[in-house]
């Protein structure tokens, strides 16, 4: 959407060097201040036909700014071809030549005065402060043509539009990355939370035999020996929340369901408020994982090999 808007607005920006007529603007650039007054400028074509161009540096059209060392004039009737320019100052003359295309998109001829009587001639765009809206008139004030030269006017609009589009896309992407992901809506009955179980110390082996074929276990404490599908928590006394995080990470990997086995409540680090760490573990798990705690809270259901879980 933004690129389309930028393109559409770009069509409204005047094209650099757009002309309503075909006059050519002539600018004498004198960076070394050779000139003490307006020079005489003669333009000659390949057939040696010449025309004299009046230039000025008084701030009146077509000159944009008084006394800035740039003498500006207007040439009418040029056609595409090679031209020779002669700039006659008070005590010296400069000459230069170049191919000119008045119908092109660069309606300005810049003549830069140099050493040794040479003038660098080039057809180029003028800057915004050099050429504005200029009315070309004859000696009696009769209007001959109107030049609407935009220079670099409008280029800022392209810059602002592209910059705003880039910033907008960047902010949108950052928001999308940081926005919390909402789960998809599921139809059907909500799954029942898994109830934690208390386990007798002598039944750990029976539990492993019954659950390992269908579960992966996160085990807190040392059960002795190594079993497949068992991931032991490295810390000797982890916090209940750390155990739940470990189970969540394991559950991200494809495989059987994940359960938590605590071989003793003393294996868990007690929270600062003195609450039973086994109860904190069950609360942190929120019923997502089956939990078995050896000698767990007395009010939990006891697991048995003959029972359901």
Please report, for the chain, the start and end positions of each structural domain, with discontinuous segments joined by +: 2-155, 197-302
pLDDT beyond 60 at 152: no
pLDDT value of position 15: 37
pLDDT of residue 184: 64
- The overall average pLDDT reported for the chain is 75
For residue 132 the two structure tokens come to 């504005």
* pLDDT over 80 (residue 126): no
The distance of Cα 90 from the centroid of its chain, to the nearest Å, equals 56
* Res 11 pLDDT > 60: no
| Structure-model confidence comparison of residues 52 and 79, the more confident one | 52
Q: Which residues pair with 42 in a beta bridge?
A: 52, 86
Q: What is the pLDDT of residues 131-140, one digit of tens each?
A: 443 444 444 4
> Per-residue pLDDT for 141 more than 60?
no
Q: What pLDDT, in 10s, does the model give residues 73-92?
A: 888 777 788 888 888 888 88
Nearest to 250 by CA among 216, 203, 290: 216
Cβ 16 vs Cβ 150: under 8 Å: yes
Q: What is the average pLDDT across 8-16?
A: 40
pLDDT of residue 183: 62
What predicted TM-score, i.e. pTM, was given to this entire model?
0.40
pLDDT at 105: 58
pLDDT digits (tens, 9 = 90+) for 237-274: 888 888 999 899 888 888 889 999 998 888 888 777 77
Question: Once rounded to an integer, what is the mean pLDDT over residues 54-66?
Answer: 85
More confident residue, 277 or 265: 277
Q: Stretch 133-155: mean pLDDT, rounded?
A: 43
Q: What is the pLDDT of residues 283-306, one digit of tens each?
A: 988 888 999 999 999 899 888 776
Higher pLDDT, 11 or 239: 239
User: Based on the number of CB atoms within 10 Å of its own CB, is 180 exposed (0-12), middle (13-18) or buried (19 or more)?
Assistant: exposed
Strand pairing report for 258-262 and 230-232: unpaired
* Cis-peptide into 50, omega within 30 deg: no
The percentage of the chain sitting over the pLDDT mark of 90, rounded to a whole number, equals 6
User: What is the topology classification, in CATH, of domain 197-302?
Assistant: Oxidized Rhodanese; domain 1 (3.40.250)
The string of pLDDT tens digits covering residues 180-216 is: 766 666 676 656 678 899 988 888 888 888 887 888 8
- If you classify domain 2-155 with CATH, what class do you get? mainly beta
DSSP calls for 83-120: EEEEEE-SS-EEEEEEEE-TTSS--EEEEEE-GGGBEE
**Strand bridging mode 40-44 / 50-54:** antiparallel
Q: Are 30 and 71 in contact (CB under 8 A)?
A: yes
| pLDDT of res. 125 | 55
How large is the average pLDDT for residues 149-173?
70
Q: DSSP 3-state assignment of 175?
A: helix
């Amino acid at each position: 959407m933004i690129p389309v808007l930028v393109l559409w607005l770009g069509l409204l920006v005047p094209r650099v060097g757009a002309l309503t007529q075909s006059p050519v603007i002539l600018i004498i650039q004198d960076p070394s201040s050779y000139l003490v007054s307006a020079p005489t400028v003669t333009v000659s074509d390949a057939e040696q036909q010449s025309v004299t161009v009046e230039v000025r540096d008084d701030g009146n059209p077509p000159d944009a700014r008084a006394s800035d060392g740039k003498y500006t004039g207007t040439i009418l009737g040029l056609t595409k071809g090679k031209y020779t320019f002669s700039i006659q100052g008070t005590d010296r003359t400069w000459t230069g030549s170049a191919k000119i295309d008045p119908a092109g998109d660069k309606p300005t001829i810049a003549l830069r005065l140099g050493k040794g009587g040479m003038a660098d001639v080039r057809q180029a765009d003028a800057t915004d402060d050099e050429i504005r809206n200029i009315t070309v008139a004859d000696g009696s004030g009769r209007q001959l043509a109107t030049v609407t030269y935009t220079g670099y006017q409008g280029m800022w609009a392209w810059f602002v539009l592209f910059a705003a589009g880039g910033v907008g896309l960047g902010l949108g992407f950052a928001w999308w990355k940081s926005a919390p992901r909402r789960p998809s809506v599921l139809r059907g009955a909500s799954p029942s939370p898994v109830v934690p179980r208390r386990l007798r110390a002598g039944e750990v082996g029976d539990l492993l035999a019954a659950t390992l074929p269908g579960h992966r276990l996160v085990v807190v404490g040392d059960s002795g020996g190594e079993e497949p599908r068992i991931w032991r928590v490295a810390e000797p006394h982890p916090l209940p929340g750390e155990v739940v995080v470990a189970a969540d990470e394991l559950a991200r990997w494809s495989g059987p369901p994940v359960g938590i086995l605590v071989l003793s409540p003393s294996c868990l680090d007690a929270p600062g408020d003195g609450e039973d760490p086994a109860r904190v573990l069950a609360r942190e798990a929120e019923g997502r994982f089956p939990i078995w705690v050896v000698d767990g809270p007395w009010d939990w259901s006891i697991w048995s090999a003959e029972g359901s879980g």
